[in-house]
């Protein structure tokens, strides 16, 4: 790998006593103790306790008054900080250790500097007065903070400075009465320190987080964001963590946005919460809402992508035990844009019961009760009860797997429809289902240019029978057709949800082969599979009348250390036409060098044909310059949907990033429609202090922009 | 304690050899010197009485030889070393060679330790060449059983 | 052509009996992995024992990345990236941490949001089953 740009001098670990050892051990050339209370030490004095280690030329310790003093090239080290000074004393009643005229270095983090005095104490943490702070290496102090005081409280990931002057190349450029910055290298929920960005969406924007540690397990971060073109947006993040409850509440509020066509306040809120009510009961909430459809597009968000179509609003209560799981949910959605309102379940209750049946078989009971309604008057309400007892026989050993499953699926509906509707007010459906799945693992070793590889051959077969019943009297509430990629072939159901259960009498055949090196990591994995319909399904795809499904295949091939290829395809049965295919070719010789070409084709999704190709490059131009570019082109519409290029200069303790991008604007007009060929472009400049909540540049540049951004879901569903 | 020094010194041992001319005597195999609460045990003790009664010098050697005594405040001192020299009228005891000195809840180890019993003052030094240094271990003050430990201010750090 | 049935046992000898737990109570991955283990001839301990291996599942993480756009600029296809992290402590050895990612494609449809969230559940539970297999395969290499 490349030599590190900024070698950080290694921080020597302090030799501390074991955690349970309350003693204080002093080694010296000479020691004198009077009346077992007043001790004088001299000559290379080394004082050790479980919390810290001090080195000095002379030290005095008064056992009764708990007073310790030391002088002569003092070096103090604990787990957080390393200090050199020439005068130290322990102030007994406050328990605070004071050092004067100091040079210091933080250990978990490349921050260092000088301080008139440093106070260290178990409860309040570290207080540095008349302090300079920088993360730049010695001799290259491109920037430095000078502050009246800097506090590093225990357990807090932020440092808080007061009366701070920012010097860039020894020129004072900024005065901040209060100023907080992350002092751990863990990037704090995407909040960069402080963000100076400029883009044509918001103009010049400066975001300064204020951190308030309300209690050991609660903190509040207020980040006013001043935007020259829009005004002041307040972003707040409240986090709480206790043994039983944890969660995070984000509120964002912009009073009047000068560039917003409607003059209303714009806000967004997000609550993600998890409580363990008791040994078996869990409660969780994932509530998200925005004030208008263009909120994310205009103001950006740390949580949502501009291309999102909906936000989750879910409340959930779960009960788990060894054999039983009960799951009660209220599930609603905030739809973005002028799409019809969706059905929501108020509530939806699922009960799963799983218990061994005899020595090998398992009896399972899956049942559901759901009440569907929708704010869209055109959508009638309905309630559904479903119960599916299943008997399954799973057998597996090292070379194979056999699963037999028999189940009955009974569903009852009460649909709030008018008498003349094609849907029935009350109806029910009972289907039988049988599934037999088998897989065998064959292996052989291959010698390939001196390397011994293992190749596996894994044939899989599944017979599925599901009885048929006409379901035209049942409405569609939570059902649509599933994507049948290779993994979907063996799923045993072709619809998501329960309002349609397709009849089936088919045999699925699949074959996977893997090539693994000595350490059993996969060099190549290829799979191919197809469904053979012994009887054409009544509820199959309308236009597909062949006796077999699309041929689905996938390949994941690590050609060598630098090259890798992933591809997936589905060939239509009758005309061998490509229904879906995707390909990604990657050349990655090192962490900061990447060339990637991707191609995607989907014959029909949301009755649109999609054919898009993308090209991504990340390349270091010079020792400190990293360039990233990404270009996504829509081949059916003959236009590029994202052109993104970013250039970042990385010095040891600061970085500046210039990003230019042009992308399809999916801004909604007043009627909630999106015109389909309006583009937006923006240039954004971002200055960042490295070492403070910094991020590794090559990686983060790749993550920016539309197609790079990786967004977390609230899991635990 | 002060009372010890008025007490007579008793010496018991397996065997004894007296050199009347030079006024020295040598005691051997598990020798015990007692004076009030003061107790020295050693494999061999040489007593030099040349300066007359009350000014004897005891030189005890052993592997190790030990010394213990009760102090004014009731705290007990116990020490050990390769050689212990006890000067009766100087009320001073000198330990040499892996000397270790324990009092109340602090302990000192070093090459040479000199303890002045009157002034209750201890001087410890490492070996000349500096490889063996003086190590002192302080245990935190054990609180009297009565009050609860939490609200008592423990010494935060050294 | 040299193929023969795979002999290496699913789990190595040192995994006769072991303890599995997750840092978050009743985590979905833990339930899927526990259910898969019950089909195997291994004894799952109620409490951790020093002489037996301990498997700790860390919270799972699910990210999504854009793959393609509709003509309106809204997302057509996502890539779901499911990250699994777990730790294995064999008796009197240093704990080892493992991490891997599984990727699946998922098509979005703003007109059928509830149905799409059902599809997401199906894909997620399939990924958890596949993750359980992957953990088993990695454990079998630990011997």
Structure tokens at A347: 């509530």
pTM beyond 0.80, yes or no: no
Question: Residue A630: which residues within 8 A CB-CB, separation 6 or more?
Answer: A614, A615, A616, A617, A642, A643, A644, A645, A705, A707, A708
What torsion, rounded to 10 degrees, do the Cα atoms A689, A693, A696, A698 define?
Answer: -70
* Angle A449-A452-A453 from CA coordinates, rounded to 5°: 105
Q: At what angle do helices C113-142 and C28-38 cross, to 10 degrees?
A: 60
For every residue of B20-46, DSSP letters joined together read TTTTEEEEEEEEEEEETTEEEEEEEEE
Q: What is the DSSP letter of C136?
A: H
Distance CA B30, CA A196 (A): 83
Q: Is residue A349 within 8 Å of residue A368, measured between CB atoms?
A: yes
> What's residue B144's pLDDT?
34
Structure tokens at A138: 């010695």
Q: Is residue C78 within 8 Å of residue C67, measured between CB atoms?
A: yes
Does the beta-carbon distance from C31 to A325 stay under 8 Å? yes
Query: Neighbouring chains of B at 3+ CB pairs within 8 Å?
Result: A
Q: Which residue positions in chain A have pLDDT lower than 50? A: 1-3, 186-192, 693-695, 697-698, 716-717
Q: Is residue C87 within 8 Å of residue C58, measured between CB atoms?
A: yes
Q: Report residue A548: phi and psi, to 5°.
A: -145, 160
User: Chain A 554-573, CB below 8 Å of chain C: which residues?
Assistant: 568
Across A416-483, the runs of DSSP E, i.e. the strands, are 426-440, 442-448, 451-466, 480-481
User: Chain A 401-430, CB below 8 Å of chain C: which residues?
Assistant: none
A497 vs C contacts (CB less than 8 Å): 114-115, 118
Q: Is the dihedral of CA A654, A658, A664, A668 positive or negative?
A: positive
3-state SS, A281-323, equals EEEEEEEEEECCCCHHHHHCCCCCCCCCCEEEEEEEEEEECCC
Q: Could you give the 3-state DSSP secondary structure of residue A526?
A: strand
Q: What is the DSSP letter of A258?
A: T
User: How many interchain CB pairs under 8 A, A with C?
Assistant: 199
Looking at chain A, which residue has its C-alpha nearest residue C41?
A: A397
Regarding chains A and C, contact by 3 or more CB pairs under 8 A is answered as yes
For chain A, the residue count is 717
> What's residue A116's pLDDT?
94
- In whole angstroms, how large is the CA radius of gyration of chain B? 18
Q: Is A253 exposed, middle or buried (0-12, 13-18, 19+ CB in 10 A)?
A: middle
Chain C contact for A355 (CB, 8 A cutoff):
no
Q: Is B153 exposed, middle or buried (0-12, 13-18, 19+ CB in 10 A)?
A: exposed
| CA B61 vs CA B33, B38, B45, B83, C84: distances in Å | 12, 17, 6, 4, 67
Does the beta-carbon distance from A122 to B121 stay under 8 Å? no
Counts for chain B of helices (H) and strands (E), in that order: 0, 10
Q: Could you give the 3-state DSSP secondary structure of residue C135?
A: helix
Per DSSP, helices labelled H in A466-564 are: 486-489
Q: Could you give the 3-state DSSP secondary structure of residue A155?
A: coil
Nearest CB among A24, A36, A43 relative to B158 is that of: A24
Question: Residue B116: which residues within 8 A CB-CB, separation 6 or more?
Answer: B91, B92, B122
Does the beta-carbon distance from C66 to A706 stay under 8 Å? yes
Q: Is residue A530 within 8 Å of residue A552, measured between CB atoms?
A: yes
Chain A contact for C16 (CB, 8 A cutoff):
no
> What's residue B104's pLDDT?
79
Q: Which residue has the tokens 């799972």?
A: C60
Q: What is the DSSP letter of C42?
A: -
Distance CA C103, CA A396 (A): 25
Mean pLDDT by 10 residues, chain B (158 residues): 77 85 86 87 89 85 89 85 88 90 87 88 84 84 39 30
Nearest CB among A335, A443, A663 relative to C3 is that of: A443
Q: Could you give the 3-state DSSP secondary structure of residue A624?
A: coil
Nearest CA to A555 out of A527, A530, A522, A523 is that of A527
Looking at chain A, which residue has its C-alpha nearest residue C63?
A: A712
Pairing of strands C43-44, C17-22: parallel
Distance CA B79, CA C99 (A): 57
Q: What is the DSSP letter of A134?
A: B
Q: Is residue C52 within 8 Å of residue C91, measured between CB atoms?
A: yes
Q: Which of C114, C124, C131 to mutate to test the interface with A (most CBs of A within 10 A)?
A: C114
Strand partners, A711: C64
Nearest CB among A23, A30, A35 relative to B137 is that of: A23
> What's residue A221's pLDDT?
84
Across chain C, the runs of DSSP E, i.e. the strands, are 4-5, 17-22, 43-44, 54-57, 61-69, 75-89, 96-107
Count CB atoms within 10 A of the CB of residue A79. 11
Distance CA A193, CA A693 (A): 6
Q: Which residue positions in chain C have pLDDT lower than 50? A: none
Q: What is the DSSP letter of A377?
A: T
Question: Residue A620: which residues within 8 A CB-CB, separation 6 or more?
Answer: A2, A592, A593, A626, A627, A698
Does the beta-carbon distance from A31 to B134 stay under 8 Å? yes
Looking at chain B, which residue has its C-alpha nearest residue A60?
A: B158
User: How many interchain CB pairs under 8 A, A with B?
Assistant: 110
Regarding chains B and C, contact by 3 or more CB pairs under 8 A is answered as no
> What's residue A185's pLDDT?
54
């Amino acid at each position: 790998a490349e030599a590190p740009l900024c070698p950080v001098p290694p921080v020597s670990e302090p030799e501390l006593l074991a955690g349970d050892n309350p003693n204080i051990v002093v080694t010296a050339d000479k020691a004198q103790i009077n009346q077992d209370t007043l001790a004088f030490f001299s000559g290379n004095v080394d004082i050790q306790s479980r919390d810290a280690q001090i080195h000095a030329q002379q030290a005095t310790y008064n056992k009764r008054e708990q007073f310790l003093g030391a002088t002569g090239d003092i070096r103090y080290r604990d787990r957080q900080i390393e200090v050199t000074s020439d005068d130290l004393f322990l102030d007994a009643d406050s328990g605070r250790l004071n050092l004067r005229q100091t040079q210091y270095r933080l250990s978990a983090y490349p921050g260092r500097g000088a301080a008139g005095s440093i106070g260290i104490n178990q409860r309040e943490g570290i207080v540095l007065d008349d302090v300079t702070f920088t993360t730049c290496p010695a001799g290259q102090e491109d920037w430095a903070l000078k502050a009246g005081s800097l506090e590093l409280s225990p357990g807090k990931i932020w440092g808080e400075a007061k009366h701070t002057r920012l010097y860039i190349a020894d020129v004072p450029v900024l005065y901040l009465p209060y100023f907080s910055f992350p002092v751990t290298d863990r990037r704090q929920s995407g909040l960069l320190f402080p963000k100076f960005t400029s883009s044509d969406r918001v103009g010049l924007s400066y975001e300064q987080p204020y951190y308030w540690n309300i209690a050991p397990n609660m903190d509040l971060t207020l980040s006013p964001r001043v935007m020259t073109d829009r005004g002041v947006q307040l972003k707040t993040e409240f986090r709480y963590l206790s043994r039983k409850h944890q969660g995070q509440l984000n509120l964002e509020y912009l009073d009047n946005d000068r560039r917003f066509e409607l003059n209303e306040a714009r806000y967004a809120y997000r609550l993600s919460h998890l409580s363990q009510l008791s040994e078996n009961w869990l409660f969780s909430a994932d509530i998200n809402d925005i004030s208008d459809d263009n909120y994310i597009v205009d103001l950006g968000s740390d949580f949502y992508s501009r291309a999102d179509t909906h936000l989750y609003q879910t409340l959930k209560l779960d009960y788990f035990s060894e054999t039983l799981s009960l799951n009660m949910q209220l599930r609603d959605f905030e739809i973005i844009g002028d799409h019809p309102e969706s059905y929501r379940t108020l509530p939806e209750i699922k009960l799963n019961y799983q218990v061994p049946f005899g020595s090998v078989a398992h009896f399972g009971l899956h049942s559901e009760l759901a009440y569907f309604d929708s704010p869209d008057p055109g959508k009638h309400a309905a309630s559904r009860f479903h119960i599916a007892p299943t008997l399954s026989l799973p057998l597996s050993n090292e070379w194979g797997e056999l699963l037999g499953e028999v189940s009955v699926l009974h569903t009852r509906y009460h649909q709030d429809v008018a008498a003349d509707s094609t849907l029935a007010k009350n109806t029910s459906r009972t289907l039988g289902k049988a599934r037999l799945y088998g897989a065998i693992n064959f292996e052989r070793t291959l010698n390939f240019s001196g390397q011994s590889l293992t190749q596996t051959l894994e044939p899989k077969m599944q017979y599925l029978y599901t009885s048929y019943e006409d379901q035209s009297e049942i409405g569609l509430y939570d059902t649509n057709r599933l994507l049948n990629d290779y993994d979907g072939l063996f799923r045993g159901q072709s619809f998501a949800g329960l309002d349609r259960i397709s009849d089936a009498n088919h045999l699925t055949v699949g074959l996977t082969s893997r090539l693994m090196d000595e350490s059993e990591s996969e060099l190549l994995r290829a799979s191919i599979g197809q469904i053979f319909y012994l009887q054409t399904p009544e509820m199959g795809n309308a236009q597909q009348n062949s006796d077999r499904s699309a041929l689905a295949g996938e390949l994941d091939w690590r050609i060598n250390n630098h090259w890798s290829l992933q591809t997936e395809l589905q060939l239509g049965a009758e005309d061998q036409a490509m229904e879906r295919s995707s390909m990604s070719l990657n050349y990655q010789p090192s962490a900061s060098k990447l060339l990637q070409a991707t191609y995607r084709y989907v014959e029909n999704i949301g009755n649109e044909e999609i054919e898009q190709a993308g090209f991504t490059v990340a390349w270091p131009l010079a020792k400190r310059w990293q360039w990233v570019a990404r270009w996504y082109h829509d081949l059916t519409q003959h236009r590029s949907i994202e052109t993104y290029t970013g250039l970042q200069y990385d010095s040891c303790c600061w970085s500046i990033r210039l990003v230019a991008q042009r992308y399809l604007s999916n801004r909604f007009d007043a009627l909630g429609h999106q015109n389909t060929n309006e583009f937006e472009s923006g240039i954004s400049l971002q200055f960042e202090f490295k070492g403070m909540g910094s991020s590794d540049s090559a990686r983060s540049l790749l993550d920016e922009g539309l197609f790079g951004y990786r967004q977390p879901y609230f899991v635990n569903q | 304690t002060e009372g010890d020094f008025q007490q007579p010194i008793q010496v018991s041992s397996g065997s004894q050899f007296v050199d009347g001319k030079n006024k020295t005597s040598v005691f051997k195999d598990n020798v015990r010197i007692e004076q009030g609460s003061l107790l020295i045990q050693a494999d061999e003790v040489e007593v030099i009485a040349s300066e007359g009664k009350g000014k004897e010098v005891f030189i005890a050697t052993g592997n190790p030889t030990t010394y213990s005594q009760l102090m004014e405040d009731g705290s007990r001192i116990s020490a050990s070393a390769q050689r212990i020299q006890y000067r009766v009228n100087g009320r001073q005891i000198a330990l040499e060679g892996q000397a270790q000195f324990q009092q109340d809840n602090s302990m000192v180890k070093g090459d040479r330790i000199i303890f002045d019993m009157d002034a209750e003052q201890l001087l410890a030094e490492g070996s000349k060449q500096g490889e063996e240094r003086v190590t002192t271990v302080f245990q935190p003050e054990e609180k009297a059983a009565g009050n609860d430990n939490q609200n008592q201010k423990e010494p935060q750090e050294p | 052509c040299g193929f023969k049935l795979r002999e290496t046992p699913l789990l190595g000898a040192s995994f006769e009996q072991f303890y599995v737990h997750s840092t978050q109570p009743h985590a979905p991955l833990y339930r899927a992995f526990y259910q898969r283990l019950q089909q195997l001839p291994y004894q799952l301990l109620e409490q951790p024992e020093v002489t037996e291996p301990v498997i700790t599942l860390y919270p799972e993480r699910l990210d999504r990345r854009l793959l393609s756009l509709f003509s309106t600029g809204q997302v057509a296809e996502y890539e779901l990236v499911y990250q699994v992290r777990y730790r294995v402590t064999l008796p009197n050895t240093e704990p080892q941490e493992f991490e891997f990612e599984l990727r699946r494609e998922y098509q979005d449809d703003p007109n059928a949001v509830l149905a799409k969230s059902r599809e997401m559940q199906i894909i997620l539970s399939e990924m958890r089953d596949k993750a359980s297999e992957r953990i088993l395969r990695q454990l079998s290499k630990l011997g």
